[in-house]
Each structure stands twice: as C-alpha cells, then as structure tokens.
Structure 1
Amino acid sequence: MAEYDHDDERAVELGTLQAIYPELVPGDCDSYSATLELLVTPVTPLPVTFEAGTLQAIYPELPGDNGLHEFHHLPYLPPLRLDITLPAAYPADAPPIVRVSTSPSWLPEDTRRTLTDEATSLWAAGEGATILFDYIVSLQEQACNAFGLAALTLPSPMRTELVTYSRRMEKELFDSETFECGVCLEWKKGSACYRMGRCSHVFCITCLQDYYTNCISEGDVNNVKCMSIECGKTARKGKKKDRLLSPKELLQIPLPHDQVDRYARIKRKKRIESDPNIVFCPRTWCQGAMRTDKYPKIEDLSQMDDCDSDAEDEGQAQQHGTHAESGPEKRGIGVRGMERLQICEDCNLAFCVVCLASWHGDLIRCQPRDTTQLTQEDQASLNFIMKNTSPCPYCSVPCQKSHGCNHMTCAQCKTHFCYLCAAWLNPDHPYAHFNDPKNQNCFQRLMDGAEGDMAHGDVEFGGPRGGEQMAAFWEGEALRLQMQEIDLETQ
C-alpha cells in the first residue's frame, strides 16, 4: 500500500478517486500512481470484423490463411486500462502522466493517442486544477459510445478472446439480474433463466426444457419456437411468421443432445417430404432421399445455427398455381440428361428420377414404371388413405380431419386448403372459397362433416377424394347389380 503525504494535493485527489472508484488500485511504494480499469459497454453493440490475413500484411513471414472473415456485434469489449502517474509539479505546473491501453490491443492506435492527449488538454484548460475525475468521467462517457468508432476491423487471432470475453460478461450480468418468466410468471435469478438469442425474450430454463422436450418427443417440431405471443418475423401484410429455434440454441438452453438430434432429424425429414422436387430412392428397403445441397445431412449439431422458417416461407411464397404439378415430369426434371441422374443419400444408388430404375445412361429411353408391385398390406393402407384422407395440394401429405370446419392447414408445410376438394386457399381470405357459388362442391359447406371423418358422416367430396368416392359408389352399384342377376338366375 502506498504511503502518501496527506497534505499533498495529489494524495487528496487519489484518495477521493478511490472513494468514488473502489476498484482503483494504488501504485506500489511511495509513488503517486494508480491503475483503473473502465468497462467498455457500448449502448449499441459494436460491429467487429475479424479479418483473416491482417497479420500477414504486418508480418509477411507468417504463413498464409484461408482468407475467411467473421463478423460479430459485440455488446462488451475488454476493459480500458488507465495507468496514472502524478509528477511532483502536478497539478500546478505539470499535467498528469496517463497511459491508456487494452488487452488485447483492440483499440485503434489513433484513438488511443487521442484519449491519452485529452488528459493534457483538460489540465491546460483547468489552469492548474485537479482534473482526474473529469477525465475519468469523460472516458466513461466515450466508452458508452464506443469512443466514436462506427465499426472495427481486427486480425482474426483476436476473435476468440474478444468474443469469449463479451459472452462471459453478458452472462455474468444476466445471471446477477432477476427476471419474470414469461410462462410460469415467477421471478427468478438470471442464472435460472435463458434469454432467447433472436428476440431476447426471457423464460426460466425449467419451463423451456419441459415444453421443448414434450414437443420433440411428440414430433411437433413446428412448435419449437419462442413461447411469447409477441414473437415472430413480421411478414408482408403485417402478419407474423414463426421462427424455429436452431439446434445450436437448444443445446445452449440446455436440452439433452439426443433430444436435439431427434429435433434436427425430424425437422429435416419434414422439409424434405414437403418439397415436391425431392425424389426418393426406388429401393423398397431404403427409401432414402436423393442427395441435395438444399438439405445437407446432419453432422455437428453445435454448428447448426440456421433458421429453417425463412427457407420454408420463401418456398411457400411460390405455392399458388403450382400445387398440381408435383411429378418429376411436370417439374421439368429430366429435360436434360444429367438432371435425370440422382444418387440416394443413404445407399448411394444411382437412379433415374423419371423411371426410378437404376441409372441407364443419357441415351437409353426410360421404360414405363411398374406400379403393380404392392404388397397386400401396402395396398390396404393405400386404399384406406385414398378413402379417408384429403391430400395437401402442395406436398401431397394425406390429412385427416378429426373435427371442425373444412378450412385446413397442412401440418407438414402449413399450406391452407379445402378439405372437401383439396383446393389451395388464400391464407389471407380462406373462407371466400366457401362463399363462392362457382365452387359448387364447396359452396356454403364450411361446416359439413364437423364431427370428423371417423364419425362416418355422409359427406360428399370433390377433387381427388371425390373421384375415389365416385369410383367406390359405381363399384358398389356394379356389385349390387351383379348380385341381383345372380339372385334372378337362382330363382
């Protein structure tokens, strides 16, 4: 501990500063010096680009790098270290000696020099008065504005240290606060809560784990999103689009790795199955999807920081007028030879997407598909689906209504459609379809079959299901007439 002459004006100023800033560390021995670290927490997170290759420009002897850049918004930066030494002539005849630094050296040299020179400028303007308190206050105010920096470009080796520091400080401050969980409405310490990465809504970890684990266990991955009713991406016409959580964020909550893996696989499977451009392996024991960069296979969950809803929204924006064209021939697949060739991502079979045979080359004509090779069990399942479900007009997934009106939303791709005729409905005005006299099969029939399919109601359908219904009717009529003829012959 330094020994000061309490009659010295320098000792009085340092003592006052230590009372205001308890974290101020006095210098050793008898020197009138001290060290103070000031937090740098900009009001607006500072954009920082970690530029690979910066060190090579300074030190050409270093090996080259891969040329990649990384961009981050940092709400906390390593503290500003202020080293103060008060010479014997201070404050009357000499300014204080100050040194401003950061570790690592993220502060630009010209900014550091400006901050250092400011102490001398304040002393000159004060005409021999003590200026350390005013100087420190000025540094704190400038730190809130990131010292006037609009953005920073730093060498990539600094990335790990700066990003780690920012996250650690953010967690420490968050853990020390108290929040009201948006689900159970209880007040809890931040250490027992989690702040959503995209929207900053706060919930307790227990509520998040219970809800997301239940959703994933039941396969309801479309509800693995922020639980706040205010959350969502504002789309056109003021509506909100839900954003699903990424596997990386679920691991941070944290959820068990096996649950997050199940979530990622189910979500990927749903996206693949709802994409009419995906063709599946013709091998009955495989049925894997064709290889595609659009849906990469799952490898490292901790790096999966994507938001699938954006891609899904973009795909659904093109739905109107394209639902009927779902087969490979109607999608334009096979127009050029190489587009016909696809490879199964599971068994690596090379096959033709037109005839679903093993790849036969560009110059060989596709043979007609054999659609009769169905087992008795498969045929029974297909018959039940055709008779008791209505297909989604976009992804063709069979949908069965348990109760309610005939305005349906596909659980797979969120397409709005009519359950009676399987027609696509405008999400903004879905009920106009049932009020249009031109739609004879559906006009004023919104609530027909409100008890659901399993109620065995006598509901008349249109579209593909109506065709199956009509075929079944005439098949029954033919059988009835046949039985009548047999009865007449036996009489």
Structure 2
Amino acid sequence: MGNTDEQRDEMLVLQSIYDSTVLTVEESEGFHCGTFLAQPTLGTPFTVVAPKLNSSGTYGNGKQEIDLEHLPPICLKFELPKSYPSDSPPRFCLSCIWLTMQQLGILCKALDRLWNQDPYSVVLYRWMDFLQNEALPELRIERRHSLGPLLLYLSKKKLYSGRHTGRPRPRLQQCQQYPGDRLYDDRAFKEQLDPSLLVCSLTDYDSKKKQEVFQQQWLHCQVCLNEKLGSQFLVFFGCNHYFCKDCMRSFFRIQIESGSASFLRCPQEGCASQASPPQVKELVGEVLCNKYEAMLLNTYLDTLADLTYCPRLHCQCPVVLDPDLTMAECPSCHFVFCIFCKMVYHGVEPCRLKPDERREIRDRYVAATGAEKHEMERRYGKRTLQLLVVESLSQDWMNENSKKCPHCSVSIEKQDGCNKMTCWRCGTHFCWLCVTTLKSISNPYQHFNDPSSPCFNKLFHGVEGLEEIDDVHDMGEFL
C-alpha cells in the first residue's frame, strides 16, 4: 500500500473516531492537513494558581486560586508530506494559551519520541491520544498549575512570536527573543494574548464547557418531574438550580401578567436568585419581557425618595421632585400637583384629606418622635396638624357619646332620661337604642310597648342611677 492510500485510510479512521468539532481535515495543494483540539484530562479538583489582577490591569503580589473542570485545548496542526509514513513523520506545530514555550517544547519532543518508537507507520492517532490523556503527566502537572511564569513572559512582552505563522514546522530554531540564548522548539507556537485576559479566558472556557456538558445530560425537573435533556432546562445563575423551560415559561408568564413579578426568582424554597433579562426574553418573548423590564424599572424608581409619578391615570410619567417645593409638574402632560395629596396644587391651603386619612395622620403625629413630627409639620403645617388632632379627638368623642338624628343627621347627646328622644333641630321623635324614627306622633312610646319591637320594655334600658322599675307602670305615668 502506498503513502497516499495509507494517508487516506488514516484520515478516514480518525474522522470516524473524533467529532468534527475536535478534528478538521482538508486537502491543500496535494497535502493532507488538519487541526486537532486535544482536550486534556484533568484531575478532580484541578486548581489554577495565578497572581491577582490589580485595578490598573497588571498583576500584583497576591495570589488567586481558581478551581476548573475544563481547560482550553492543546491545538495540534499537522500536515502530511508525500513521504509519510514510509520515510518521514508529519509536520506539525503545537499551541496552547495556558502553557509556556518550554512546556510546548517538551510536548513536541514527546511526539517525536512516539514517532521514533515505531517509525514508518501511521502515528497521528497515537499523538492525539497522547495529547488528551498523557500531556499533563508528561509536564508533571497533576492537580495544580501555576500561570506565574507564563504571565511574567506575557506581561514583559518577551514571549516568542518571531515570524511564526502557526503553520506546521519540522525543525528547531534558535530563539533570540529570550535571554540566555536558550533553544526553543520552532514547532511550539504561542499566540499573542493580553496577560490581563488570560485568567478570564480560562474561566470563560470552563463555564462554556460546563454548559455544553450540562445540555447533553438527562435531568429531572423538580416541578413537573419529567426527564428531559439539559438543553431544555433553565439554570439560574448564582445558585445553579435548574428547572425545565416549559415549567419556567408558565411560571414567568403568570407572574408577569398578574403584575406581581417585582423579580422573577428561583422557585427553589429559600432561594433568592433571579432570572436574567435574556433568560426571561427567551422564555416569554419580547412583549412580556418588555413588560417585566418596565416593572423592574418601576420597582427601582419607587425606592428613590426624590421621584414620584404623575397622579393622572392616563399618564403615570415619572416626575423628579424639588426638595424645596411642595409642588411638582409632570414633564409629559404638564399637570401641576401637590406632592403630598397628589391633587391639583393648592398653594398654602392645607391638603384635603379623607376621614380615614385624617385619623391615620393624627395617630402618626401623636406617636411620632421629634424628628418625625418636624417632618410632618413641614409637610402638612404645624397649625393644621394641631387642629387636626383637636378635631379628630372631638370627632372620636362625638362618635362615642352622641348619635345622629335619623331625619336631619344632627348630632345629639343623651345626658339622662328615657330612651325616647326628640331632636332639638327638627323635632323628630326617635329611639336612642335603635335610632329608629317613632312614627306615631300621638303615642311615641308605642315603640317600647309593642311586643314585636326590638326595644320592647326597654324605655329605661341602660339608664344609669335608676333602680329596676316596672316599665309598664312608668309608661302609665307618661301617658
């Protein structure tokens, strides 16, 4: 079998083993070439140690330790010469953002060693398997990897780049950009990377791979109890609780449409994590998402002390308050209103309050401390509050000690005597107990003599200072 046939067979075998996201193969200028992304097998847990990034964007003396489950791949670019495998090995280059030039050089020599162990036979699969499963042991990296040496080179801009284009190279070359005239493998290729972005790149890649693994798993939803692929689940950031998208879609819609969604929180009991706006938009669509964002905005605006809303129902535009004024003007409809009662601005006149509001304000003012009283006096006026207290106390006394005439509604106080009352204003006879008009003008006491009446025999009921007497006998005296 000739080299061309062996190369073709090797490519077919590799493509049947590895996914197209890992291995890409093409034929260029009569040569088979390709790229393999070797995902190294990490110990659990695997920790990356790096200096801490200062606010200036440079690394300081402090250290940070980051636990990762996935690292960016080691990239192997290869090209098969026409003499492979009968006479020469593949041409290749290696690159990896988290390995130094020295470490990449060690891996290059390891690939040479694999070729020399069984020369003149296809070797690409052994190379790929080595980079995935044996690269870290070859570099003596177990569960911890320090980025310090690499970041030092990157920050000083002394990393080897030269004229390397990233194409496969066959030989060693003296690197003049490192001190000490040390020899670096020309097949080791280092991409230009901002040192301040290295750690961020590693964590971003780890998060991305975790998401890919999660989406390929079969999981149980704790709401509907159905088993679905992870790609059909919503994961809450921060807590990592997950529920199927169908359940969360219904939950979010109900919350938003009912207007009770100040925040769309994780349904796990006791969890305060919130769904992000992109997650909400994905599940409920743009219309409901816009409504949700408007609700979030209103919730935030409600926390601002110097902001209120136009009291007109058709407007409801946010209005910024002037702390020195008791009036405000809506920037949309130009309605000028009192910032306290939300009615049309009334100048120095006190706010018109409903009875329940007056009673509430009185109770707050009576129970307030010095600072709270001062704030209320600034808002309502000291004399207004004093009159309000007096009027409210008077009204409470009248409510407890007087009743209104059923005909003219004037307040009447009963000091003594029987329960047959006569209004001092309109002359109407009425019962003090049930406040019913006594319609019989000639005999108003009939109400107390009628057995079907609720006030039967209660003419003197509740009268203080009187001994028990016979109401019927006394009635005769009045008649």
TM-score between both structures, scaled by the size of structure 1 = 0.45
TM-score between both structures, scaled by the size of structure 2 = 0.46
